[in-house]
Amino acid sequence: MLKANNGMDVNSIAASFRVCTKVEVLISPLEPRGGSFPSGWALTQELNEKLQHRTFDIPVFIAASAEDTTVSTAATLQFMRRASHPASHMLLYSADLPAISSDKIELVNSFMPDERILSFSHTSIVMPETDTYYGSSGMYCNCLHYYPDDMEKYSACIRHPEQALLGELTQKNLAAGMLCRLMYNPKFAQLETALQRFMDKL
């Protein structure tokens, strides 16, 4: 198998290029008009309006957390339902494992009490547990949600991360005890496998 310098299969790279080309064609009507580039919000709104009632045949891979407080899970699932390409696939990390009947969506349990993990945040999904900075033994603990309103908890969270629960910043998780926002994915190998399987289908 021919490999590029970064170790990726050259055929996969070529397939990715074809996908990117299709994406460019899809969004080309949204290019700047009158010499001014629209804001990110305006661009997103216009793209949503154009895609709301249509399906699209570009392959899509999504990894998302059901408990994410930044990205709308409902909007992501709605988007995924319109992805008609047979290779399209979604990994949905969830602490509650909702009933979803779709062969395009793979549910992954993100509630791991033995590791003090209550749920995944979107910041954690693409980071392996072995990362030296953000990983389980890394030097960083995200306690910024306590700063500056609760400096006592912020200090305790920074000084004793081994005592903190890990997860997304939901009201339920924050009420459970001192919380550090999870910054790594303890199931990263499953993500790698799913992504490689997706690439092999292109």
pLDDT for 198:
97
Separation of first and last alpha carbons in the chain:
16
The total domain count for the chain is 2
Look up the pTM and report it.
Answer: 0.76
User: DSSP readout, 31-76?
Assistant: S-BTTBPPPHHHHHHHHHHHHTT--B-S--EEEEETT-SSS-HHHH
pLDDT over 90 at 32, yes or no: no
- Are 81 and 49 in a shared domain? no
Question: Which residue segment(s) compose the domain that 20 sits in?
Answer: 1-54
Write the DSSP symbol of residue 15.
Answer: H
Whether residue 128 sits in one domain with residue 99: yes
Q: Domain check: are 31 and 105 in the same one?
A: no
Among 35, 54, 73, residue at a domain's last position: 54
- Considering the domain architecture, whether residues 10 and 69 belong to the same structural domain is answered as no
Residue 36 has pLDDT above 60, yes or no: no
Winning range, highest mean pLDDT, from 13-22, 25-34, 41-50, 102-111: 102-111
Q: Are residues 71 and 160 in the same domain?
A: yes
